[in-house]
Amino acid sequence: MSNGQGDAAAAGGLGASGAGPGSGSGSGLAADGASGGTPTLPRNVLGTHHGMLEEQILAVKRRLVMEAGSAIGMLESAIEALVKLDEPAAREVIRRDDEIDKEEVRIEEECLRLLALFNPLARDFRTVAALMRVNADLERVADHATSLCKQTIKLRKFKDAGTHIALPTSLVELGQRVPIQCQTLMRALVNEKADDARAVIMKDAAIDTLDKRLFDECVDAMTETREGRSAGMLYYRCGRELERVGDLMTNIAEDVLYLATGSIVRHEEKKRLKGQAG
C-alpha cells in the first residue's frame, strides 16, 4: 500500500489542484501562514481516508484468498472424482459452483465500490485492479472443475455400460501438477512475491507438453467401438480442462507481477520465461 511519503505527496497535489493560494477560507483546507501558502488537507483527515481504503482493500484480499481456497478445493475434488470415477462426488463439486459464482460477483461489486468511493491512486489502484482480474480468473477455475466433473459422470456411465479405458498417465500427471501450480500461485499472491509468480509462468511449459502427450495417449487407447472412441475423447477433454486451469494460473501470475512490480507482463515476456524453462 502507499507509504507516508506518498500520502504527503498526494496531499500536496490535492491542495495545489483543488484550490489556489489564498482560497482556503471556508473550504476546509488549511493555508500556510497569513500570507496564504498552498492549501493542504489536514494530515489526520488524509490519514483516516487512506487508512479506511487500506483496511477495505485488505478485507477484499482476504475474501479473494478464501474464494481461491474454495475454487482450488473444487478442482482437487474434481480430479479425485475423475480418478475414482465417483459420480456422487462429481455432482457435489458441480453443486458448489453456484456459490463461487455469487462470491465472484460480490467481490467485483466491492472492488468497483472502492474505485468509485476512494478514487485510489498508484499502488492502491494497482491492487484493486489486480484483485478484480484475479477474481474473474478464479471463477473460471471453478468452471473448469465443474466441466471436469461433467466429463467424469459421462465416463462413469460408459464404465457401467461395459466400456472403460484406463486413465492415461499424462492425465494423471496433469492432475498432480496443476493443483500444485494453483497452491504455489496463491502463496505468491498472498505474499506478493514476483519470483514465485515468474516460476509459475515458467512451469506452464511442462503442462503444455503433457497436454500434447495426452492427445497421443488417448488416440492409442481408443477401441474400435463408438463408445471406446467417445471415452478416449472424454479423457482428452479432461486434460484440456486442466491445461486451461494452468493457463489461468499464468494469467494470475501476470497480475501478481503487476501488483508487485508495476510492470505489465504479456506475450513476449511470457514466451521468454517459458523458453527459459524449456
* Residue that the C-alpha cell 485492479 belongs to: 129
How far is residue 165's CA from residue 115's CA, in Å, rounded to a whole number? Answer: 52
**Which amino acid is it at 93?**
V
Q: Tell me, what's the pLDDT at 151? A: 97
pLDDT digits (tens, 9 = 90+) for 101-120: 999 999 999 999 999 999 99
Q: Tell me, what's the pLDDT at 61? A: 94
Q: Tell me, what's the pLDDT at 261? A: 85
pLDDT digits (tens, 9 = 90+) for 149-187: 999 999 999 999 998 889 999 999 999 999 999 999 999
How far is residue 206's CA from residue 246's CA, in Å, rounded to a whole number? Answer: 10
CA 110 to chain centroid, in Å, comes to 16
How far is residue 39's CA from residue 269's CA, in Å, rounded to a whole number? Answer: 44
pLDDT at 239 over 50: yes
Q: Which three cell numbers stand for residue 111?
A: 472492488
Confidence of residue 259 (pLDDT cuts 50, 70, 90): confident
pLDDT at 255 over 50: yes
* Residue that the C-alpha cell 506478493 belongs to: 192
Q: Tell me, what's the pLDDT at 50? A: 76
pLDDT at 9 over 60: no
- φ/ψ (deg, to 5) at 30: -95, 135
Q: Tell me, what's the pLDDT at 271? A: 61
Query: In the chain, what are the domains?
Result: 59-277 (1.20.58.220)
pLDDT at 45 over 70: no
Name the more confident of 17 and 40: 40
pLDDT digits (tens, 9 = 90+) for 120-139: 998 899 999 999 999 999 99
pLDDT digits (tens, 9 = 90+) for 60-72: 999 999 999 999 9
Rg from Cα positions in the chain: 25
Q: Tell me, what's the pLDDT at 272? A: 64
Mean pLDDT for the chain overall: 83
pLDDT at 234 over 70: yes
pTM of the model: 0.78
Task: Report how far apart, in Å, the C-alpha atoms of 23 and of each of 10, 37, 41 are.
Answer: 19, 10, 13
Bridge partners, 40 (sequence order): 30
Q: Which three cell numbers stand for residue 35?
A: 500570507
